[in-house]
Amino acid sequence: MGASGSEPLEPYDQPAYERFCRALVTAGFEPVPGTLRRDWRGPIRPSLSPLTGANRMTVRFRDGWPHVSVVLLVPELLAEHVTHGGQICLWADDDPAQQSASDIENLWQRADEWAAAARAGFGPTDAALDAFAHFDSHATPIAELDLPGISLTFMHGSMGALYARQHRLTLQLTATHQRDTELYGHWYAVDHVNPLPRTLNDIRNALTNAQRRNLDRGLRRRDPHEHGKGGHDLLVLTWPRHHAREALVVTLSGAPPNVSAAAHQVTATDTASLTARAGPDAEALHPKRVLLIGAGSVGGHLALAAATTGIGHLSIADNDTLLQVNVVRHVCGSKYVGWQKTDAVKHLIGEHAPATTVDTLAAVPLAPTALTAAIIGYDLVIDATGQAPVTAALAGTCAGVAIPLITVALYHAGVLLRVRRQAPTDTPLTARPGDPSYLQLPPDDPTTRDPGFLELGCLAPINNAPPTSAATAAALTAIIAVDLLTGRLDYPDETVQVLRPLTTAPFDRVGLVTP
Amino acid sequence: MSQETLPSQFPDAVSAVEVNADKAQRARDAHTEVRELLEGDPTLSGWGVSTRLIGSYARDTGRYPGKDVDVFIQLTELDTSATPKEVYEQVRGILVGAYGDAKDGGRAGPQARSIKVDFPDRDNPAVEFSVDAVPAVVDGTRWAIPTKDQSRWQNSTGRWVTTDPIGFADLSSALSTASWSPTVAGRNAYKPVVKLLKQIRHVHLRDARPRGLFTEIAAYDVWNGGQVIGTSWAVLLAQTLRQVAQRFQACASTGLPDPVLLTAMQPDLEPQLWLDAAQVFTGLADDADTALQSERCAAAAIWRRILGENERGQVLPLPQGCDANGFPISHVSPVTGSGIDEPRGFAVHRQRR
């Protein structure tokens, strides 16, 4: 988020800004010369006095005011949720409630609440693993760290070797030496850290005697010109915090005895952290097995969406090869040209959702007995072929063995997409044509129908559905699949989405159309 | 037609041009420090030293930011038979000795007839604040300060200039407490209007003369003469601009009388300077009258051009619902929360990754 800039503030609400500044004057604040009236200094807020020896504080305007609140800067403030420089964190950067601080009374009220929490102890809603933000100095690469991969226990006083390499804008830490390791250091685990360390010396003071001796030895052997050679280039301090585990990653610079430290923002790389981003259904979806038939423009996107949402096992069937012309609509890019589509999608899923197992099939047989044998054991079959014969074969076969089926297809050059679900309690697909409770899609108008386009090597015109239609179809199908697999069944058994209006009602307006 | 006086905006404008309480206290503290220093000197003590705040700080007519505090060093046992050089050098020696000479990096800078001592803000060293200390000897019932032309200090005549800054402060106080003097919402309006007027002079005349003191005296003249009547800040300021403009016009031929000494204020201005200032103030008075007859947003835009801005920003704040060009706006920015209004916790930041 932008801090004080080199240009005067351009508030989004000039009258409110001027009222705010007037209120600052009334409260005894004056603009700091040379800051273009972005910084105002004045008397310390009484509620903050017990927390600092300073008697003055700064109110700083940031670009985006009043949508972005001012920040308060109080020197010598020792508390949590105070960054380097004494900036009090009154709101998270993305908290819309900060806009209320366009009224200065709301700002003071929030500051008083913060002060009260700082004295009495912050609550669970204030929990944040933000130790790096309190450190006096920061370094740019984001440190990627797999804590469970380093140690399972982290007993107080434990420690171990650590290696790191820089990959573009990240610093990747591991407990084992890799061929391209650039930095060497140690991790140290303690039971408790208070206050949050702001300097290398603070870190040292938090260690046990044995850990401190190890650190001191590592610092003495430091050679700033020879990384990874035995002296410490980095260190990690880890301790329990907010019912989780905090990690402060710092890299070192300079030569002994003048070694300095800078903290890195830290992000986790363990499976649990990845799974946490899969959404609330990930745990319920992990045991599920899904057969996806068709790995084309819709199927490819669908496979990736299904895997990243947490489905534990995917079997993907398709006998097609990914070609250069496919990459415009396909989820796999140029580096997969020449691969079987199924292998390409499997590889891509491995990069995004490593917890999902994938196997690939060249095709599914269409003969009834063989098809039945192929689908047994799955919790759901998804047809993304867009081929009516395959859909028809699957509809009957799945109904025969009570295995749910979801089928998706695009119509009218991607203007319409339809997702049909056939769960054991739904009307079978074969019974829907002619059933007035189901929507009959309008036929193509022969006079205006887009014939597609001819292309080398193709036996028929190419469907001109745009990539966005394929991606939308895939996303909607994945949502309906999750809805079925979790047992919610909030969606109807047939959903049509109109992406551009046709002339025939009810498809003459955009949006979802359900029977 | 009723007049648009911007009753919600002008009180903010008044506070925008006033020195805040902290600064006023700093002025008093600086005076105390210098006074104690001077009164501790045996020579000055023998000369009957007694100091007072004078100037706009003493009269409470200084406009924000109020960088200069004037201290009057009264030497009650000396008269104009004393030589300015001896008196000045004694004071200079004490202050330069205590604060260091400015030309050597110290804080005391000898001026033509006074010594200026810088008092940097402890938190904002860039904020300028200084005490200007001028020695004075008894001159009958008045006081005399050294003439600015130091080459005349050894002359038998013309080496002292008669003055009575305390007398003008007394007159100002009397006017600001007189029962007939206009008030706004129960507060005597004279001194706040003088501050607004000085702000306007600063914006529109800049370094050109007449400067602040002469403008204040002209304002005192017209207010004391009962030529300014009204019950709102806007009306009183508009009338003051008009009357002061006419006063400036007259000064081109008569000069500006000292309200205490009743002689012409020195140094007098060239007539053309008075006429130029009169023309500017007449134009501003015309604008002010237009503002009084305008709707709210347009009136605010006019007054904002008249009053300008200071270090705190625009002196007159925008009324809600008006843009800076003087037009109503149909809506203001959605400063109420566009999402959930209940704040989340005190996190440092939350990055979506």
**Which residue in this structure is represented by tokens 């997969």?**
A336
Q: How far apart (Å, rounded) are the C-alpha atoms in residues B288 and A281?
A: 68
Residue B335 contacts A where some CB pair is shorter than 8 Å: yes
Closest-approach residue (CA) in chain B for A37: B312
As a residue count, chain A comes to 515
Query: Amino acid letter at A211?
Result: Q
- Asked whether the beta carbons of A358 and A346 are under 8 A apart, the reply is yes
Q: Phi then psi for B289, rounded to 5 degrees? A: -65, -40
The closest CB to that of B341, out of A14, A92, A97, belongs to A97
pTM of the model: 0.79
- The segment with the largest mean pLDDT, out of A120-124, A143-147, A305-309, is A305-309
| B322 interfacial to chain A (CB closer than 8 Å) | yes
Interface test with B, best of A22, A67, A74, A129 (most B CBs within 10 A): A22
Report helix, strand or coil for A249: strand
Query: Does the structure show a pLDDT above 80 at A37?
Result: yes
Residues 90-129 of B with CB under 8 A from A: 123-124, 126-127
A114 contacts B312? CB cut-off 8 A:
no
A 69-88: CB under 8 A from B: 81, 83
Which residues of chain A are within 8 Å of residue B20 when distances are taken between CB atoms?
25, 28, 30
The fraction of chain A above a pLDDT of 70, given in percent, is 93
Distance from CA of A129 to the nearest CA of B (A): 9
Q: What is the pLDDT of residue B29?
A: 86
Q: Mutate one of B346, B349, B351, B352 to test the A interface: name it (highest A CB count within 10 A).
A: B346
Report the residue from B317, B338, B342 with minimal CB separation from A15.
B317
Flag the least confident range among A152-166, A179-193, B122-136, B150-164.
B122-136
Paired with A267 in beta bridges are A144
- Measured CA to CA, the distance from residue A466 to residue B129 in angstroms comes to 69
Q: Is the pLDDT of residue B7 over 60?
A: yes
Contact A16 B124 (CB under 8 A): no
**Is the pLDDT assigned to residue A104 strictly greater than 70?**
yes
Specify the higher pLDDT residue, A176 or A314. Answer: A314
Q: What is the pLDDT of residues A420-450, one digit of tens each?
A: 999 999 999 999 988 889 988 888 766 655 5
Rank A91-95, A301-305, B79-83 by mean pLDDT and report only the highest.
Answer: A301-305
In A, minimum Cα distance to B22 occurs at A28
Instruction: Please report, rounded to a whole number, the percentage of residues in chain A having pLDDT higher than 90.
Output: 66
User: How far apart (Å, rounded) are the C-alpha atoms in residues B137 and B115?
Assistant: 16
A25, A34, A66 member nearest B16 (Cβ): A25
Q: What is the dihedral of CA A28, A34, A39, A42, to 10 degrees?
A: -20
Q: Is B343 on the interface with A (CB under 8 A)?
A: yes
Distance from CA of A47 to the nearest CA of B (A): 16
Residue A114's pLDDT band (cuts 50, 70, 90): very high
pLDDT, one tens digit per residue, over B70-125 is: 999 999 999 999 999 999 999 999 999 999 999 999 999 999 999 999 988 766 66
Tell me how close the Cα of B307 comes to any Cα of chain A, in angstroms.
15
B151 touches chain A (CB under 8 A): no
| Six-digit token string for A268 | 């986790």
Please answer whether residues B64 and A22 qualify as being in contact, where contact means their C-beta atoms are separated by less than 8 angstroms.
Answer: no
Nearest to A92 by CA among A61, A47, A130: A130
The answer to whether the beta carbons of residues B124 and B113 sit under 8 Å apart is no
Mean per-residue pLDDT, A451-464: 56
